[in-house]
Amino acid sequence: MKNNTINIKGLIFDLDGVIVDTAKYHYLAWKRLAQEMGFHFSEEDNEQLKGVSRTRSLEILLSIGNIKKSEKEMEELAARKNKWYVEYIVKLEPKEILPGVEKFLNELKELRIKTALGSASKNAPLIIKRLNLENYFDVILDGSLVKKPKPNAEVFLKCARGLELKPEECIVFEDAQAGIDAAKNGNMYCVGVGSPENLKGADYIVSGFLGVTLESLIEHIVRGKGK
């Protein structure tokens, strides 16, 4: 889709906080792990874990509790946390898709815009299946297919390659600062989903997808470039 100075051919979506809110389940699992180790893990602490890999999240959690573990122990802790998290998400239903997302995805399908999912979550394929959204994405890339966590651009660049597009032909949708930084590091446009005070450097910010159209997004991005 051409609009003045940009030519958008593909959209790349993060998962948690953009398509569905599974962050609450991550938090419950991390909080349970912290309680087992004898310290409190708050919702404020959990903000540090948004958009980062499971391994890095565990490192942050342990630093909050001032706890040191061997590599083997960390693998066991991460596996335990993931087991609890999976117990939550296997109960996910399509009704938990965030408002406006499915309508927006249908618009993209009608416009024949290529779409990809680029998530740090290794459970992304399971979640997308539970939500019945598999047919909306041309490419699904999860945390098991990338080596470098956000803010490295690897996951989004691989998505663009999978879509056979140039980075500058893509818009990334992200709810975390690390993801926004990753998109910009990959020379992509980025729409932040959430509160402006938590999302610095995005080309445009929306609170959610209700009432959002691709044309309106591109218009806002173009307008922003003209400032």
Could you report the per-residue pLDDT of 15-35, keeping only the tens digit for each? 999 999 988 899 999 999 999
Kindly report the pTM of this predicted structure: 0.85
Residue tagged active-site, from 16, 45, 181, 203 = 16
Residue tagged active-site, from 14, 45, 142, 203 = 14
DSSP state of 197: G
Give the alpha-carbon dihedral of 50, 167, 185, 53, to 10 degrees. 30
Ordered domains of the chain (ranges, CATH): 2-21+95-225 (3.40.50.1000), 23-89 (1.10.150.240)
Has 142 been annotated as catalytic? no
Has 45 been annotated as catalytic? no
Residues 6+ apart with CB under 8 A from 11: 108, 113, 114, 115, 116, 170, 171, 172, 173, 214
Please determine, for residue 53, whether its predicted confidence score (pLDDT) is greater than 70: yes
Could you report the per-residue pLDDT of 176-200, keeping only the tens digit for each? 999 999 999 999 999 999 999 889 9
